[in-house]
A = this chain, B = another copy of it.
Amino acid sequence: MPKVVDHQARRRQLSEALWRVVSRDGVEAVSVRNVAAEAGCSPGALRHYFPEQSDLVASALALVSDRFAARIAALDIPGPPVEVIQAYCEQMIPLDEERRIEAEVWFGFVTRARHDPSLDALTRRVHQDLRAFLAQLLPYINAAPTEVDRLHALIDGFTVHLLLYPDHLSPDTVRAELRTHLRSIANP
C-alpha cells in the first residue's frame, strides 16, 4: 500500500485555504492555482482531492455548514428561554472573526450557486434547515409560528450588513437588537 494520508483532513485543510483566499481577495480570486498556492501545494495535488473546481467550492461550503452545526451542538446555555434562543441565533451571525469568514464564504458563493446545480442543492438545503431550526425554536418563547420568516430575514440582514459595512454596525448593537426582537415576539 502507498503513502496514506487522511483524505478528510486534507480536504478540510484545502477548504480552509479557500476560505483564506476569499477572506483576503474575495470570491473572484478563487481559482485552483490560487487556493493551491495558499495551501502550499501544487494545483495537481489539489486536483487529486477535488477533481473539479465545484467539488472544492462545495466542500468549502459544506464545511461552513458543519462548523455551524458543531457550534450549535456544543452550546449548553443556562438561563431563561429568550437567552438560550439568543445564543442559538447568534451562531448564525458573523459576530466574531471565525463566524465572519464563514459568512463571507457562504454569501460569496451563494449567488453563484443559483447558476451552478451542484452548489444549488447544498445551499437550498442549508437555508431550509436553518428555517426549520428557527421554527423549532419559536415555541420555547411562545412566539407565533408565523414569526419564523421575519426572524430569519432579520438574522440574514444583520449578517449581510456586518459583512459589507462592519464600520456602520457593531456586533454589540446587533446582539442588542436581536434581543429586542426576540423579546418583542415572545409571549410570556
Interface positions of A (Cβ within 8 A of B): 25-29, 107-108, 110-112, 114-115, 123-124, 127-128, 131, 146, 149-150, 152-158, 160-161, 163-165, 168-169, 173-174, 177, 180-181, 184
Contact = CB atoms under 8 A, between A and B. Distances in A.
* Copies assembled: 2
B26 A165 contact: no
Given A154-B150, A154-B153, A157-B155, A26 B173 contact: no
A26 B114 contact: yes
The 7 tightest CB contacts between A and B, nearest first, are: A157-B157, A153-B157, A26-B115, A156-B157, A153-B158, A150-B177, A154-B154
Given A157-B155, A161-B153, A131 B27 contact: no
A149 B177 contact: yes
B127 A26 contact: no
A173 B149 contact: yes
